Amino acid sequence: MWGMSNVQPDRRQVFLAAAAAVPLACRISAPDDQEAPVDEITRATIEQAQRLSGLTFDADELDQMLPALKRQPQGIAGLREARITNGEAPASVFRPRPRNPLPRSGGSGVPLLPKGMPPRPKTDTDLAFAPVHVLARLLRARKLTSTELTRACLARLKRFDPTLHCVITLTEDLALAQAAQADEELRAGRWRGPLHGVPYGLKDLFSVKGYPTTWGAKPFEHQVIDADAGVYERLREAGAVLCAKLTLGALAMGDVWFGGKTRNPWNTAQGSSGSSAGAASAVAAGLLPFAIGTETLGSIVSPCTRCGATGLRPTFGRVTRHGAMALCWSMDKVGPITRDVTDLALVFDSIHGRDDRDPASVQAAFRFAPEKDMSGYRVGAVKGAFGAGRDRAVLDVLRERGAEITAVELPKIAAAQLYPILNVEAAAAFDDITRDGRVKELVSQGRNAWPSSFRRARFYPAVEFLQATRLRQRLVDAWEEMMSGLDVLVSPGRGGVLVPTNFTGHPTVCVPNGFGTSGNRPSSISFVGRLFGDGRALEVAWQYQQATDWHLKRPKLG
């Protein structure tokens, strides 16, 4: 869920130490060079700890605190004895407040597949790269069977995974059984919708009964969770066929997992970025028509940029996270990765909506119905972000299609001040492996990797954590105000908008818009919607793709 390392903040500014963590500092010497018992908390302990919080209390104030702080470890020990699991969410729930009322009606999803019957692809490679909306029409018309398509996907996964390292578990038996059921239903005239019989992959932080759910991390390599994730349930009901559980960077950071590094199909010497590493790699390589990823701070947008895929990070709360690994309860989002925007809309239409098992999930209307042109669309362009070249060409395309383009300045609230929200929540989610030492089994152990992050977060003051959540609401309000006259905000790649919109919960559609100077490094453009304006953002991205062919390019894997 956490994206590339180059979007992480300067940890010196983010990780302060807390007076609330005094029990960890109890080995400091007592006054007058007399050693205190190793487990005793003294005034000197607090004097040292307060420096880490940037505070100074006088001697009387320290003495007043001392009796209660001596008892504090007992209360902390009681909390730890409760053995709270990763899946248990906090009592507080983040819900971004849109400027306008939440859309409850007026949405009709994706009412129709594109008109016409496409020809069946002539080659196996053409079939592998066919989008969902083409496959759906072929399957419904019985010009293609789900079993045939599924076997083709399984064969490509087996063939190219040794190069890409994008698969953790191949769910072959399940896939063939689900494909056979889909074929039987389609022969009987029962069509569940556009995903019926279409193969896909799940990022391996979603639980599926009978299969490991490894979270990409060595301590959980053999973990089997006896529950189906909510998003898997919805896709199963839609008739989709699960072929694989795909790689993620360990505990949703980056592209390095316990089995290696997931690769970019355009340049296999390079990682695919993360943490939805396998999802983006597999879709971009034509191994699967679509995949489900997650994002906390760049983990859909970043690998889609690296691999040249098309991705949707929905408004926070629009897709259930039940049965998914929790990293940051107030930031984790679930979204699809595909090869074009129409497919994003089709998949999102099948998975969005309220789930009582995820307290942050909401029910809101969704509508995707792009017009022939962009007359009436109001598009904001981040001021100063568009130079010459492919990024500027995006604005030219939108303007030619009739959009009204306005230069916009982003709110000047420093979103990096909010990083403690993510890091403290993540440390709480993995409190157990930090304390019992299993965190040392993770492949990445550097100062910016999770193990160090989890430890540092123990020292962040609780008061400042709450202050950060208050500043977060100010950021949400500022972004809603800035976007009040817009349908969509456009920004090149990950820059400028990625961090703040992950904290505010605004949706983003990421699509390829060209290649770098080397010729094999995809670049991307981001379309940021208003809160619960996912459909409008998809429509603008669709308009761009209608006029370009970057999303049709294919990497050469042999």
Instruction: Identify the band that residue 376 occupies on the pLDDT scale cut at 50, 70 and 90.
Output: very high
Instruction: Identify the band that residue 495 occupies on the pLDDT scale cut at 50, 70 and 90.
Output: low
Residue 8 has pLDDT above 70, yes or no: no
Residue 9 has pLDDT above 70, yes or no: no
Give the list of residues 6+ apart from residue 71 with CB closer than 8 angstroms, or none: none
**Which pLDDT value is given to residue 235?**
98
Which of the residues are catalytic? 203, 275, 299
In this predicted model, which residue has the larger pLDDT, 21 or 467?
A: 467
**Which pLDDT value is given to residue 107?**
61
**Domain layout of the chain by residue ranges:** 10-82, 124-354+367-414+468-552
DSSP code at position 325:
P
CATH class of 124-354+367-414+468-552: alpha beta
**Which pLDDT value is given to residue 97?**
81
pLDDT digits (tens, 9 = 90+) for 112-159: 788 899 999 999 999 999 999 999 999 999 999 999 999 999 999 999
Q: Maximum distance among all alpha carbons in the chain?
A: 87
- Dihedral pair phi/psi, residue 413, rounded to 5°: -75, 130
DSSP code at position 411:
P
pLDDT digits (tens, 9 = 90+) for 440-450: 999 999 999 99
**Which pLDDT value is given to residue 494?**
63
For residue 243, give the H/E element and its range: strand 241-246
pLDDT digits (tens, 9 = 90+) for 25-56: 332 233 334 444 446 899 999 998 988 888 89
Helix axes 534-546, 341-351, angle to 10 degrees: 160
pTM above 0.75, yes or no: yes
Q: From the centroid of its chain, how far is CA 139?
A: 30
Half-sphere exposure of 36 (CA within 13 A, CB side): 15
d(CA 305, CA 299): 10
Percent of the chain with pLDDT over 90: 82
Spatial CA neighbour of 120 closest among 130, 110, 106: 130
CA distances from 543 to 6, 302, 370, 395, 455 (A): 30, 22, 8, 12, 46
Q: Which two tokens stand for residue 375?
A: 């007359």
**3-state secondary structure at position 59:** helix
d(CA 42, CA 22): 10
Q: Which residue has the tokens 């629009």?
A: 318
Q: What is the secondary structure of 445-480 as a DSSP string?
A: -STTSHHHHHHHHTTS-HHHHHHHHHHHHHHHHHHH
> Which residue type does 539 have?
E
**Which pLDDT value is given to residue 108?**
67
What is the chain's length? Answer: 558
Spatial CA neighbour of 392 closest among 490, 527, 312, 310: 490
Check: CB of residue 235 under 8 Å from CB of residue 350. yes
Check: CB of residue 166 under 8 Å from CB of residue 159. no
Instruction: Identify the band that residue 23 occupies on the pLDDT scale cut at 50, 70 and 90.
Output: very low
> Which residue type does 81 have?
E
**Which pLDDT value is given to residue 338?**
98
Helix axes 132-140, 341-351, angle to 10 degrees: 70
Summary mean pLDDT of the chain: 91
DSSP code at position 358:
S
CA distances from 159 to 153, 156, 167 (A): 10, 5, 11
Q: Which two tokens stand for residue 432?
A: 């157990």
d(CA 69, CA 47): 12
pLDDT digits (tens, 9 = 90+) for 278-320: 999 999 999 999 999 999 999 999 999 999 999 999 999 999 9
